[in-house]
Amino acid sequence: MRPLFLYAPNLKRYESEYLSSSNGWKAISVTGTYCAFNCKHCGRRVLESMIDGSNLYKIEEELSKAIARGDKGIILSGGSTSRGDVPIWKYSKLLSKYSDRLTIIAHTGVIKNEEIAQKFKESGVKIALLDMVGDNETINSVLGQPFTVDDYLNSFRYLKKVGIRVAPHVIIGLSKKGIEGDLEAIRLLKEVNPDALIIVGL
């Protein structure tokens, strides 16, 4: 039996006697607030809450700050290209120089082939994050993407094949099919044997 961990996200500012968002890993968007899809679910609001890492100078500055703070790692994210992936790999040379001092977790977006997955590997990404959706209707009408459930499952397969651990996110309440759609997403993930499964409550 695998352990269950509970986390509070750090994308929004909060402070209590138990938790503070300032203590969490920093999330950096490599595209700033740009996303090719601008979906109904996010509307770029999540990107607006991240640190802007949309050019080489900004990314390196944030990596240096993370090391100076003694952070264990960083979360790299951003908007998708029209192909589906988040273009973290464009900073591959820079990231590879820091990957021995920081654990790099990345939201990869949809990965269409092994070559793209390998680019993330060469960037020093240790763990890949990607939402898992259990039905094509939600992918097309809510996320506004021309992809399928199989495209999402294949993304995890490509990433695992090149040696990146995967931690899919299932967002409860996202599916247009209700809880049955959420449960279907979880069921389908058994096919790819994820290293962890993250359940997100809206």
Res 103: pLDDT: 96
* Identity of residue 65: K
Distance of CA 202 to the CA centre of its chain: 16
Res 31: pLDDT: 95
Nearest Cα neighbor of 86 from 122, 126, 129, 50 is: 129
Strands (E), the chain: 27-29, 51-52, 73-77, 103-107, 125-131, 165-172, 198-201
In the numeric block, which tokens belong to residue 158?
């490509």
Q: Which listed CATH number (3.40.30.10, 3.40.50.970, 3.20.20.70, 3.40.50.300) goes with 21-201?
A: 3.20.20.70
- Cβ neighbours around 103 below 10 Å, total: 16
Q: Which residues of 120-137 are buried (b: 16+ CB within 10 A; e: fewer)?
A: bbebbbbbbbbbbbbbee
All structural domains of the chain with their residue ranges:
21-201
pTM: 0.87
- Mean pLDDT (10-residue bins), the chain, 202 residues: 60 49 78 87 84 96 96 95 94 93 96 96 96 94 94 98 97 90 95 94 72
Report the C-alpha gap between 14 and 95 in whole angstroms: 29
Report the C-alpha gap between 154 and 142 in whole angstroms: 20
CB 111 within 8 A of CB 87: no
Res 23: pLDDT: 56
Cα-based distances in Å from 119 to 85, 98, 141, 169, 193: 11, 16, 29, 22, 22
